[in-house]
């Protein structure tokens, strides 16, 4: 018994020491925390979704979720073949081209009207603070921070490790002109030695003027946040990027709710909606979209095209690695919403709504 207690104590001390690593970030305090407390979305000491959002759905349990993650073996969660990819030279890409490049999962680069945006970059090859625990699939990890050009706006949807990647963020620091993130998330960036003057923290339903012809809006999502032991002390966001000619919805992570229809009504529809389609489960459907809900959200948003993301790079759920793309494609047969499904690194022409894409996942195991 004494030996067990000593071992348990040693593990606890080790965990506490490990969590002092900078990768875990910093909780908001001081003036930043005082500003957070003024948010209408912050109640009872934490940020709240618009509607009640349980971490696990009715009929499921956290115990079952933990057991499944630790012990249950699900088939085909990792591809046998390498994910196809293309190494586009982003640094020599003409600034006049309006394009998007997907890096797998929820990371992508947008070049629009002479400005460069980078959303939720994860280039370290791992989506977890525990080394080698959530490794990128073969073929998806071909880009690094060094491959990025200067970034005008680094956009962060929320502070989970598969969206806010400490090694990537530190490596990108010399290239980033401005960071836009939810309230409280700036504490991580400041701790990681980003100039406070470069950090723009926003609540839902606010905006950032990019230039006379471009505005970035912060919009609602249904999710949660947290890097350490405390949850929901920073805000999760979606974004709208609008020019006179294009409207893009950058969804981040979200479960289905009324906010999609409200955003669609407010902005009058979108040329492209980028939506969370992967790492879902019936047990946590309130915080991630099921593929069928992705299509409903697209209709609510009045989207002309949909780019499904949050899949094909990391195993963070229990479904087969290609199931998200199979299900959304099958369910889209009745709706015929143009799906944007590039391979990693492929150029998506934002001005060409007729651009066609292969069902590349059908060729893999």
pLDDT for res 6: 59
Tokens for 100, please give them.
């998007």
Dihedrals phi, psi of 22, to nearest 5 degrees: -55, -25
pLDDT digits (tens, 9 = 90+) for 274-306: 999 999 999 999 999 999 999 999 999 999 999
* Region for residue 76 given its phi and psi (left: phi exceeds 0; alpha: psi -120 to 50; beta: otherwise): left
Rounded Cα–Cα distance for residues 263 and 299 (Å):
11
pLDDT digits (tens, 9 = 90+) for 145-155: 999 999 999 99
Rounded Cα–Cα distance for residues 298 and 260 (Å):
8
Are 211 and 205 in contact by the 8 Å Cβ rule? The answer is no
Q: What is the mean pLDDT of residues 256-268?
A: 98
Domains of the chain: 2-363 (3.60.15.10)
* Stated pTM of the model: 0.95
Percent of the chain with pLDDT over 90: 87
User: Contacts for 124-131 with beta carbons within 8 Å, 24 or more apart?
Assistant: 124/165, 124/166, 124/167, 124/168, 126/165, 127/161, 127/162, 127/165, 127/313, 127/314, 127/316, 128/161, 128/162, 129/21, 129/23, 129/24, 129/161, 129/227
9: pLDDT confidence band, cut at 50, 70 and 90? low
Q: How far is CA 107 from CA 81, 124, 144, in A?
A: 21, 12, 12
Residue 272: closest CA among 311, 301, 236, 295: 301
Check whether 17 has a pLDDT greater than 90: no
Across 11-20, 109-118, 240-249, 348-357, least confident range: 11-20
pLDDT digits (tens, 9 = 90+) for 172-208: 999 999 999 999 999 999 999 999 999 999 999 999 9
16: pLDDT confidence band, cut at 50, 70 and 90? low
């Amino acid at each position: 018994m004494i030996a067990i207690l000593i071992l348990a104590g040693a593990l606890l001390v080790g965990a506490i020491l490990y969590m002092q690593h900078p990768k875990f970030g910093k909780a908001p305090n001081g003036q930043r925390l005082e500003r957070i407390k003024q948010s209408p979305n912050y109640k009872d000491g934490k940020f709240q979704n618009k509607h009640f959002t349980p971490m696990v759905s009715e009929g499921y349990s956290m115990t079952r979720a933990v057991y499944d993650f630790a012990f249950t073996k699900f088939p085909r969660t990792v591809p046998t073949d390498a994910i196809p990819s293309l190494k586009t030279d982003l640094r020599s890409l003409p600034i006049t081209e309006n394009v998007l490049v997907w890096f797998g999962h929820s990371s992508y680069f947008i070049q629009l009207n002479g400005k460069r945006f980078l959303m939720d970059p994860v280039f370290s090859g791992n989506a977890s603070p525990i080394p080698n625990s959530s490794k990128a699939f073969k073929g998806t990890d071909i880009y690094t921070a060094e491959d990025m050009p200067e970034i005008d706006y680094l956009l962060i949807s929320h502070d989970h490790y598969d969206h806010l990647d400490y090694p990537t963020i530190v490596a990108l620091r010399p290239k980033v002109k401005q960071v836009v993130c939810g309230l409280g998330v700036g504490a991580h960036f400041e701790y990681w030695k980003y100039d406070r003057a470069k950090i723009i923290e926003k609540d839902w339903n606010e905006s950032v003027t990019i230039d006379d012809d471009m505005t970035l809006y912060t919009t609602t999502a249904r999710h949660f946040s947290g890097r350490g032991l405390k949850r929901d002390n920073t805000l999760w966001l979606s974004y709208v990027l609008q020019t006179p000619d294009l409207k893009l919805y950058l969804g981040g992570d979200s479960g289905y709710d009324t906010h999609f229809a409200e955003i669609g009504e407010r902005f009058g529809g979108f040329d492209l909606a980028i939506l969370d389609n992967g790492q879902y489960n019936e047990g946590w459907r309130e915080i991630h979209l099921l593929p069928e809900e992705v299509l409903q959200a697209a209709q609510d948003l009045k989207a002309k095209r949909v780019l499904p993301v949050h899949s094909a790079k990391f195993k963070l759920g229990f479904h087969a690695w290609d199931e998200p793309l199979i299900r959304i494609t099958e369910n889209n047969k009745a709706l015929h919403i143009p799906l944007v499904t590039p391979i990693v690194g492929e150029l998506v022409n934002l001005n060409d709504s007729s651009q066609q894409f292969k069902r590349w996942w059908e060729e893999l195991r």
